Structure 1
Amino acid sequence: MNRLSILLMPISNLGHQTIFILQELGRLAVFFLQGFIHIFSYPFQIYKFIYQLWFIGMKSLFVICLTGAFTGMVLGFQGYYTLVKFGSEGVLGTMVALTLIRELGPVLTAIMITGRAGSAIAAEIGIMRISEQIDALETMNINSIRFLFSPRLAAALVSFPVLTAVFDLIGILGGYLTGSVLLGINEGIYFYRAEQSVNMSDINGGFLKALVFGAVVVTICCYQGYYTHMRKQGFGAKGVSSATTSAVVISCVLIFLTDYILTSFLI
């Protein structure tokens, strides 16, 4: 290897990485579009949709309620001891409601579902890939993306906004528990401030974020599991574990990234 080749090696590596990233983004975009289109293709997969709705939505309900309650309670404590310094503890309901509906509700709901359901989805599809079940579907002329991804995507687009609404409601009640019951703020003032400060645009913005997060999380998790066999870390159990870890990490990072982008447009 001559000296010029050594000097150009960093540029070559950068080019290879750029091409790899562009290939991954293109494959991911095609994967999502195929899955989204197949949601509306006949025959409809009603049974699979209902099962995924139960798996992604109902089985996440307890952890969402628990997280929402403690998040609201912590916001109630922190908000009270911050606002009382300015004599504005009466607007605690406003602070809790807007913080949950605009930001914490959609974001924390998406992260909790990613940890509970997203990791399981990536592992399940990854195991199907390494055990050649996906190859068997293709051999039987069954569209594997339609069979595996589309019902999960449809269920996520329904589950994420509903669970976000539950998180917001439980969080506001948690803020009431600490702010009114424990710290003595008038409960009428708390709920009046929460009601008057929240506009429909705030609620719509929160639901929009939940929809985008649902699409992002399920697409990333299904994609990582579906293409487990193409990972550099290896094939088999090691590839599945790597795909599952990547699915959770990438999903969480993209949740924060898309949250920033959407917030910059919604404000």
Structure 2
Amino acid sequence: MIEFFSRTRLCLTVLFHMLNIVSNKVLDYRNFLYCIQNAGFDVLLINIITSFFISLVLSLQIVKEFLYLDAAHLVSSILALSFIRELSPVLTAIIIIGKVGSLFTSEIGTMVVTEQIDALFILGINPVYYLIYPRFLALIVMFPLLNLFSLLTSFFSSAFICFVLYNISPDFFFLNLFYSTIYSDLFKSLIKVFIFAFGVSIISCVWGIKTSGGSKGVGNSTTSSVVTSLLFVFISNFFLSYVLFDNFLSVFSVI
């Protein structure tokens, strides 16, 4: 427990340095592009495939109930709100944590146990700016883009399953979707995504920096990083949803 609070305090310190525009941060562009590839292009296909099938399953469960109530015009509206507000941000976060967060932790943890961090200090290089800053920026840039791809994939896969199984035309589906989409929800969803990116990037890197105990310690830090990041996303998602969206208003009131 003491170790957890120590790491949490270090996370806040690192976040302050990342957001401090006065500090003289030097970005290693090769390292940054490497992180962009890991946090973006290497995750994109997994993100699209996962979003496609998750949205298919959700559509299967929801559409038939609305058709039973003779409310086909509400199908795309409810699905769009579900994807924008909750499903796409959280699903993208889970994929990034499993694929990218674990990679960042294991990379930095391996550098710690092999004393490469000490070598950076000897060379006069700040490991926070050399290792954490490019990873932090990479997730800030790629997280919203991956969330956008997840949203688009979810919309098209839902339209596909509605047309194939329930004979709801894509024109009708997207007309109601665009008519009912509240653009403030898109902005609020973007806020949620940025907060997820802040938390996941800082937790992944700090847990790597605090690694000790050789190869076993790297494995333990990686596992702990993934679990902690998931808990951060799930807990913060509840409070962000409560604060950002109309808490006690039915979604039907805005459709």
Q: Same fold (TM over 0.5)?
A: yes
**Residue of structure 2 in register with 1:117 after alignment:** 100
Does residue 237 of structure 1 match 2:215?
A: yes
Question: Structure 1 runs of 4+ off > 6 angstroms?
Answer: none
* Cα distance, 1:46 vs structure 2: 2.5
**CA displacement, residues 225-266 of structure 1 (integer Å, 9 cap, x when unaligned):** 11102xxxxx01111110000011110111011111111111
Question: What SS does the aligned partner of 1:149 have?
Answer: helix
**Residue of structure 1 in register with 2:17 after alignment:** 34
Following superposition of structure 1 onto structure 2, how do residues 71-220 of structure 1 map, counting pairs within 5 Å? 71-220=54-203
Unaligned runs of 5+ in 2: 246-255
Query: Contact between 2:140 and 2:198, CA under 8 Å: does it hold in 1?
Result: yes
| CA separation of 1:39 and 1:215: change in aligned 2, threshold 3 A | farther
| CA separation of 1:76 and 1:182: change in aligned 2, threshold 3 A | same
- The letter for the 1-side match of 2:92 is T
Larger Rg: 1
TM-score, reference length from structure 2: 0.91
Alpha-carbon distance between aligned partners in 2 of 1:50 and 1:189, rounded to the nearest angstrom:
42
- The letter for the 1-side match of 2:52 is A
Question: What SS does the aligned partner of 1:97 have?
Answer: helix
Alpha-carbon distance between aligned partners in 2 of 1:69 and 1:184, rounded to the nearest angstrom:
19
**Residue of structure 1 in register with 2:244 after alignment:** 266
Query: Contact between 2:211 and 2:221, CA under 8 Å: does it hold in 1?
Result: yes
Does residue 246 of structure 1 match 2:229?
A: no
* Cα distance, 1:42 vs structure 2: 5.0
Alpha-carbon distance between aligned partners in 2 of 1:69 and 1:138, rounded to the nearest angstrom:
45
Alpha-carbon distance between aligned partners in 2 of 1:57 and 1:192, rounded to the nearest angstrom:
31
Alpha-carbon distance between aligned partners in 2 of 1:215 and 1:257, rounded to the nearest angstrom:
14
**Residue of structure 1 in register with 2:233 after alignment:** 255
Query: Contact between 1:38 and 1:150, CA under 8 Å: does it hold in 2?
Result: no
* Cα distance, 1:170 vs structure 2: 0.3
Alpha-carbon distance between aligned partners in 1 of 2:76 and 2:207, rounded to the nearest angstrom:
41
The total of aligned residue pairs comes to 245
- The letter for the 2-side match of 1:240 is V
**CA displacement, residues 46-88 of structure 1 (integer Å, 9 cap, x when unaligned):** 2322221111011100001001111221122111122122111
**CA displacement, residues 160-196 of structure 1 (integer Å, 9 cap, x when unaligned):** 0010010000001010111123321122221011101
**Residue of structure 2 in register with 1:61 after alignment:** 44
Alpha-carbon distance between aligned partners in 1 of 2:23 and 2:64, rounded to the nearest angstrom:
51
TM-score, reference length from structure 1: 0.87
Alpha-carbon distance between aligned partners in 2 of 1:140 and 1:106, rounded to the nearest angstrom:
40
Alpha-carbon distance between aligned partners in 1 of 2:73 and 2:101, rounded to the nearest angstrom:
39
- The letter for the 2-side match of 1:216 is G
| CA separation of 1:219 and 1:43: change in aligned 2, threshold 3 A | closer
**Residue of structure 1 in register with 2:252 after alignment:** none
Question: What SS does the aligned partner of 1:185 have?
Answer: coil
* Cα distance, 1:38 vs structure 2: 7.6
- The letter for the 2-side match of 1:147 is Y
| CA separation of 1:42 and 1:112: change in aligned 2, threshold 3 A | closer
Query: Alpha carbon RMSD of aligned pairs, Å?
Result: 1.7
| CA separation of 1:182 and 1:199: change in aligned 2, threshold 3 A | same
State the identity as a percent. 30
Query: Contact between 1:57 and 1:163, CA under 8 Å: does it hold in 2?
Result: yes
Alpha-carbon distance between aligned partners in 1 of 2:20 and 2:46, rounded to the nearest angstrom:
31
